[in-house]
Structure 1
Amino acid sequence: MANRTAPFSRFEWMVAWRYMRGIGADGGVSVVTIISLLGITLAVFALVATLAVRSGFRTEFVDTILGANAHVTVYHAARSTPEGGLQRGIPDYQAEAERLSQVAGVTRAAPLIRGQIMANANGRNAGAEVFGITLEDLKGIPRVAGDEATLEGDLSRFDEGVAIGSGVARELGVMVGDRVRLISPDGVKTAFGTSPRVSAYEVVAIFTAGRYDIDRTRIYMPFAEAQSYFNREGFADEIEVMVRDPDKVDEMSPALLGAAGDGALLWSWRDSSGAFLRALSVEDNVMFIILSILVLIASLNIIAGLIMLVRTKSRAIGILRTMGLTEGAVLRIFFLCGVATGVTGTALGLFLGVMFVVNIDFIFAVVNGVGDGGVWDPAIRGIYALPAELRLVDVVKAAALSLGLSFVVTLPPAWRAARMNPVEALRHE
């Protein structure tokens, strides 16, 4: 009767390790093992790094949206007046904002004035969008005036001037304390028509919200001044609503519409950025599939290495079988050879991926320096730096995928070795 060894015993590990090292004339096997190891390591590293960058980009993009824009914007369609004209805006904006702020889950409701203007200073012009808002409400915008913002100047003097984005300031060449002229085509109404309105304001603060399109176009003006500047006396254009859980804005829509009253319409952050977020989700899935194929290709190198190992060790397998080693023991020996490569490569790949994410700022600075600062264009990508967020779920997915494929591809050659006829193996040697 064949002598049976305990599954995955020390003897089986010893034989597997000896085979993997490729001793003596069989040294070529170890080269294939190293190639397989490097392939899996690089594939897992690429998978972890890519998933981290995609997660970081999505998180940063959503954070800048929620930190500098309304979670829900409430506005009203144009209404007919007794005189036969159309009335735009919200006349009872204070009462409506108060009702909206009472809705469960709402943290702030602020009336806004919005208008398109051209800013001028130092002989330079820049198109911009003015947001008329009170100082108290402005302080409630995290990415503009909160702890997350990079702010220059004194925001307490907001009622004496305007706060402009860093991109606008850079385009106009102004700093805190300088004056900018704001030009609106829909200005002073006279008997001869409407003439452009031109007003100069001191720049009391310069903010950086972290989004290029916001910093490059946005100017905040005191609410009362914006009403006068845009001919909105007694009206607000819309109400900016911030909620405690932005992911639940759709569930809150009925309550918000009920509080806003007849004729109210809602525009949430999902409406404005939903297409881009869906595109990111599709891209994430496609990238995961592509990189999974890369991991599979790297794992297939294990098959090639094991097939070579089985052919090279056929005589040794025959001897071990005639000495009483069971088919199961042979299968486990070659299974250990393949799995050891997969586990080691996965561990090294995870380590490199984690190190990449931890040091991504330094790596990005080096790459950007080599590319003379032109590697990352915020005008195209919207944010100023390459973000990365290491999430446990991404690491687990990468490890599970790599280990699973390594285990699966190891079984066929290991099974072939186990089923080898020892007599045939020795007769052909």
Structure 2
Amino acid sequence: MAQATRPFAPFEFMIAWRYLRARRAEGGVSVMTWISLVGIALGVMALVATLAVRSGFRTEYVQTILGANSHAEIGAYPQAMDNGIVNISIPDYAEVTARIEAIPGVTRANPRIAGFSMISYGDRATVGEVLGVAPNVLAELPTFRGAPEATGDIGRFEAGIAIGSGIARALGVIPGDKVKLLQPNGVKTAFGTSPRVNVYEVTYIFSVGRADVDSARIYMPFAEAQSFFNREGVADQIEIFVDDPEGIDALVPDLLQASGQGRYVWTWKDRSSAFLAALSIEDDVMFVILALIVLIATMNITSGLVMLVKNKGRDIGILRTMGLTEGSVLRVFFLCGAFVGVIGTIAGVILGCLIAWNVDGIMSAVNWATGGGAWDPSIRGIYRLPAELRGWDVFRAVALSLSLSFIVTIFPARRAARMNPVEALRYE
């Protein structure tokens, strides 16, 4: 009676490896092995590269959000005044700002004026979102401080205005040019309200890396914005910056308490919740789709093993008569499929990492081949295709590939183990 051998003994690895190295007469098995290996490698490569790009895209998007915007904002709910005007301003902004800055975890807070205005230069005009902030606030924003694409002197911000690079291109202006800003709710006279038109020098042109910001935003000194928008003595919002932007939700109760009655807190996650949710859903969908590609690739292992079992029927019969157990035969053919899965997975991870590390060069080549239309920042919001390799993403890809490779190997391996040695050697 055959005695059980130690599972995955060295001779089982040796037999499995020799079976994979098919001779010329068994070229079909060799071809199927290579097809399986290449298919798994390409599937894992696509999975690793895609997950890296998706992670990098989210990181880049969040960094541009946090680099050009506050982490949270305090605003006032609309209140009807005695004269019928709806008020949404914050008159006690200085006291509220001081209370907010005293909260642990808050790095700074500052009042802000917000509005829209038409900006013109010569015969060209566009509409921009005007934000009135203190002179030091603009220089402290991460994407404004030392931005390589920026022009002008941010230190002279108080002497004029700062505009986005998209607005500058649309108007054809450079630092030092003077532009006109038109605000319809201007000076109130006996004949009604006349528009306010002021002339400002462009002291700084910024480029934060997001097309929607660079093409629509104008910064103005806080005091000048109060006068320009008829907000003397009040602020529209209070910007808040914290140590840990990802943990901003934990500070919301304290911020609400410090802001007072009739105020609300609007975080950067609330502002971009729809987009961040869409990214999460897209990540899950992409993982499922690419997992199906890996599954189809691993199914070739089954085809190759079925052919291998058929070609090795005589060998199986001889090994069984020599005392090899069913378990040993099962493990031998399981190892055949596992070798293909492991080698294909390793090759796929290496190729995927190489693509993720060189995605900028690859995208530049694609842009050159397509005439520069492969990446439109006005649609995608950022100027480049980023990639960020994360250990968790690579682990998920490896675990998926190996799990599928091992699972699809079980059926042909069991078929080989249950083969009757008498039937296998009957016609030999």
TM-score (norm 2): 0.96
* Structure 2 gap segments, 5+ residues each: none
- State how far apart, in whole Å, the 2-side matches of 1:353 and 1:86 are: 56
Query: Partner amino acid for 2:75?
Result: Y
The question of 1:344 aligning with 2:343 is answered yes
User: Could you tell me whether the CA contact under 8 Å between 1:21 and 1:27 is conserved in 2?
Assistant: no
Compute the displacement of 1:176 (Å).
Answer: 1.5
- State how far apart, in whole Å, the 2-side matches of 1:428 and 1:148 are: 80
- State how far apart, in whole Å, the 2-side matches of 1:4 and 1:334 are: 17
Query: Partner amino acid for 1:397?
Result: R
- 1:409 matched residue in structure 2: 408
- 2:205 matched residue in structure 1: 206
User: Could you tell me whether the CA contact under 8 Å between 2:135 and 2:158 is conserved in 1?
Assistant: yes
Q: Taking structure 1 as reference, are residues 316 and 78 closer, same or farther at Cα in structure 2, changes over 3 Å only?
A: closer
The question of 1:103 aligning with 2:103 is answered yes
Compute the displacement of 1:82 (Å).
Answer: 5.8
- State how far apart, in whole Å, the 2-side matches of 1:11 and 1:130 are: 76
- State how far apart, in whole Å, the 2-side matches of 1:149 and 1:375 are: 24
- 2:163 matched residue in structure 1: 164
Aligned with 1:27: secondary structure? helix
User: Could you tell me whether the CA contact under 8 Å between 1:149 and 1:207 is conserved in 2?
Assistant: no
Query: Partner amino acid for 1:53?
Result: V
Aligned with 1:374: secondary structure? coil
Range that drifts further, 45-54 or 318-327:
318-327
Compute the displacement of 1:374 (Å).
Answer: 0.7
- 2:227 matched residue in structure 1: 228
Q: Taking structure 1 as reference, are residues 150 and 102 closer, same or farther at Cα in structure 2, changes over 3 Å only?
A: farther
Query: Partner amino acid for 1:68?
Result: A
Compute the displacement of 1:280 (Å).
Answer: 1.1
Query: Partner amino acid for 2:310?
Result: R
Query: Partner amino acid for 1:61?
Result: Y
- State how far apart, in whole Å, the 2-side matches of 1:373 and 1:286 are: 28
Aligned with 2:407: secondary structure? helix
User: Could you tell me whether the CA contact under 8 Å between 1:149 and 1:209 is conserved in 2?
Assistant: no
Aligned with 1:116: secondary structure? strand
Query: Partner amino acid for 2:24?
Result: G
- 2:393 matched residue in structure 1: 394
Compute the displacement of 1:135 (Å).
Answer: 1.2
- 1:69 matched residue in structure 2: 69
User: Could you tell me whether the CA contact under 8 Å between 2:75 and 2:88 is conserved in 1?
Assistant: no
User: Could you tell me whether the CA contact under 8 Å between 2:147 and 2:206 is conserved in 1?
Assistant: no
Identity %: 58
Compute the displacement of 1:212 (Å).
Answer: 0.8
- 2:114 matched residue in structure 1: 114
Q: Taking structure 1 as reference, are residues 368 and 73 closer, same or farther at Cα in structure 2, changes over 3 Å only?
A: same
Compute the displacement of 1:80 (Å).
Answer: 4.7
Compute the displacement of 1:328 (Å).
Answer: 2.0
Compute the displacement of 1:313 (Å).
Answer: 0.7
Compute the displacement of 1:112 (Å).
Answer: 0.5
- 2:332 matched residue in structure 1: 333
- 1:240 matched residue in structure 2: 239
Offset from partner CA, 1:233-275 (integer Å, 9 cap, x none): 1111111111222233332222111111121122221221111
* Structure 1 gap segments, 5+ residues each: none
TM-score (norm 1): 0.96
- 1:22 matched residue in structure 2: 22
Query: Partner amino acid for 1:266?
Result: V
Aligned with 1:139: secondary structure? helix
- 1:262 matched residue in structure 2: 261
User: Could you tell me whether the CA contact under 8 Å between 2:147 and 2:207 is conserved in 1?
Assistant: no
RMSD value, Cα: 1.7
- State how far apart, in whole Å, the 2-side matches of 1:261 and 1:8 are: 70
Offset from partner CA, 1:358-408 (integer Å, 9 cap, x none): 001100100011111111111111111111110000000000110111111
Offset from partner CA, 1:265-315 (integer Å, 9 cap, x none): 222212211111111111111111111111111111101100000001101
Compute the displacement of 1:13 (Å).
Answer: 2.4
User: Could you tell me whether the CA contact under 8 Å between 1:162 and 1:204 is conserved in 2?
Assistant: yes
- State how far apart, in whole Å, the 2-side matches of 1:131 and 1:161 are: 13
Aligned with 2:272: secondary structure? helix
Aligned length: 428
Aligned with 2:238: secondary structure? strand
Query: Partner amino acid for 1:226?
Result: A
- 1:385 matched residue in structure 2: 384
Q: Taking structure 1 as reference, are residues 196 and 98 closer, same or farther at Cα in structure 2, changes over 3 Å only?
A: same
Range that drifts further, 247-256 or 169-178:
247-256
Where in structure 2 are the equivalents of 1:191-202 lying within 5 Å?
191-202=190-201
User: Could you tell me whether the CA contact under 8 Å between 2:114 and 2:236 is conserved in 1?
Assistant: yes
Query: Partner amino acid for 2:266?
Result: W
Range that drifts further, 402-411 or 29-38:
402-411
- State how far apart, in whole Å, the 2-side matches of 1:220 and 1:113 are: 10
Query: Partner amino acid for 1:340?
Result: F
Compute the displacement of 1:6 (Å).
Answer: 4.5
Where in structure 2 are the equivalents of 1:38-53 lying within 5 Å?
38-53=38-53
The question of 1:89 aligning with 2:92 is answered no
Compute the displacement of 1:178 (Å).
Answer: 1.6
Q: Taking structure 1 as reference, are residues 172 and 84 closer, same or farther at Cα in structure 2, changes over 3 Å only?
A: closer
The question of 1:138 aligning with 2:138 is answered yes
Range that drifts further, 75-84 or 120-129:
75-84
Q: Taking structure 1 as reference, are residues 428 and 188 closer, same or farther at Cα in structure 2, changes over 3 Å only?
A: farther
Offset from partner CA, 1:151-195 (integer Å, 9 cap, x none): 321111111111111111111111112222111112222221112
- State how far apart, in whole Å, the 1-side matches of 2:46 and 2:174 are: 43
- 1:361 matched residue in structure 2: 360
Q: Taking structure 1 as reference, are residues 302 and 148 closer, same or farther at Cα in structure 2, changes over 3 Å only?
A: farther
User: Could you tell me whether the CA contact under 8 Å between 1:186 and 1:196 is conserved in 2?
Assistant: yes
Offset from partner CA, 1:119-146 (integer Å, 9 cap, x none): 1114221210111011112222212x23
Q: Taking structure 1 as reference, are residues 147 and 155 closer, same or farther at Cα in structure 2, changes over 3 Å only?
A: closer
Offset from partner CA, 1:37-70 (integer Å, 9 cap, x none): 0110011011111111111111111111122112
- State how far apart, in whole Å, the 2-side matches of 1:135 and 1:428 are: 93
Query: Partner amino acid for 1:29?
Result: V
User: Could you tell me whether the CA contact under 8 Å between 2:118 and 2:125 is conserved in 1?
Assistant: yes
Offset from partner CA, 1:175-226 (integer Å, 9 cap, x none): 1122221111122222211122211211111111111101110011111111
Compute the displacement of 1:7 (Å).
Answer: 3.6
Q: Taking structure 1 as reference, are residues 86 and 309 closer, same or farther at Cα in structure 2, changes over 3 Å only?
A: closer
The question of 1:153 aligning with 2:145 is answered no
Q: Taking structure 1 as reference, are residues 87 and 417 closer, same or farther at Cα in structure 2, changes over 3 Å only?
A: closer
Compute the displacement of 1:8 (Å).
Answer: 3.1
User: Could you tell me whether the CA contact under 8 Å between 2:206 and 2:214 is conserved in 1?
Assistant: yes
